Structure 1
Amino acid sequence: MAAQVKSKQRVEEHGEVFTNEREVNDMLDMVKQETERIDSRFLEPACGDGNFLSEVLRRKLAVVGERYGRSQLEYERYMFVAVSSIYGVDIMADNVAECRERLYGIAEDEYEHRFKDECRAEVLDSIRYLLSKNIQCGDALTLTAADGDPIVFPEWSLAMGSKVRRRDFTFAALLNVSAEEPTFDMLDEIDQDEMGKIIPKPIREYPLTSFLEVAKYE
């Protein structure tokens, strides 16, 4: 079992205590149906090195394997969907790096175990790129990234065949920050439907591209 504390100093300075595996599974079992829905999005605002997110990914990939394991292309497409639905923020850069590598390792191991020598490097490159965008170093309380800019998350969705649509949103807009009285500087990030419900607007939209080529967006 992984340690729940890395150091006394980190606990004192950041309140960092990791949730153990049994508690993680007990909590996720409370939303078991969602953890096993491939495209259900999960965000952990203090993700640490990925205790919760890694278990969510394992559950999702188990469903991907069960449904699409007979077709490598279908497995690859829905593995992409599973990984793309997982988001995290942590204030500690080493935790972010460890979380990304941990999630990548889970996806890589499952993929290689299932398809061995037929694995495609571009699939794993896309998975790594997803994690570089979905797992952010920043402060979920102030909604700012480590560089001081607003945290921005991409929304990924399969559009047609192997094509993927990407839209970027600020974390603040996704949370409907200042939903009662939006500030002037948020007016380009939110909209309202006929019932007055605030809905986020993307700050950037990208052309459709193959899920194998998402790293070419930038």
Structure 2
Amino acid sequence: MDTGMSTGEGDGEQAERAAFILRLRQRGIRDLAVLRAIELVPRPLFVDPMMRRHAYDDVALPIACGQTMSQPSLVAAMTEALGVTADQTVLEVGTGSGYQAAVLSHLAARVVTVDRYRSLVSEAQTRFEVLGLRNVTAYVGDGMNGMPARAPFDRILVTAAATDIPAALMDQLKLGGVIVAPLGAPEEVQTLVRIVKEQSGRSRTDLMKVRFVPLVPGAAATL
């Protein structure tokens, strides 16, 4: 199948990617496994062709369906906070371009990602296939409901803002599992939090201030 996507890169892009990883280290990312996972994923493949000159800039980029692709330093920080190990299953809520899930696929045993937009899911799945990522699968669905058919999960990453963690996501998280998510009103600055599910409830660590698009219920009727 001709996907119109290529992973081929020349010396220039390899040098740019090396400089990109160095900048992430300078921004405080220390987990070598996370840095290696990011290095393995060609970010330009996930960026709109008109924006590819900015693929390795540390800025959020627009994608289809009015959504955004988080800046690389935030992707790295969220991945590091999640603390994924090679035997774990991860749920991502908000597939977007598929970039974050592709990074996670190099750290986890299995990645399940869900988005309300069919076109985003289709494009992301094509990118996964181009890269030969066989341990990540994208689904169309209501992210607030998680993916009960594939639960439970060791880690859950939410890439859209809500005022609280949806109950369904907490229910699908294993005891001792971790959720990383932005909490707060969509129109305001939110707080990225790390929540651990414990026998007695949950513990929360506030990580940083962020801005994300809102977590919207339901699958989109169009797009």
Shorter-chain TM-score range: 0.3 to 0.5
Could you say which structure has the larger radius of gyration? 1
* Superposition TM-score, scaled by structure 2 size: 0.38
Decide which structure has greater strand share.
Answer: 2
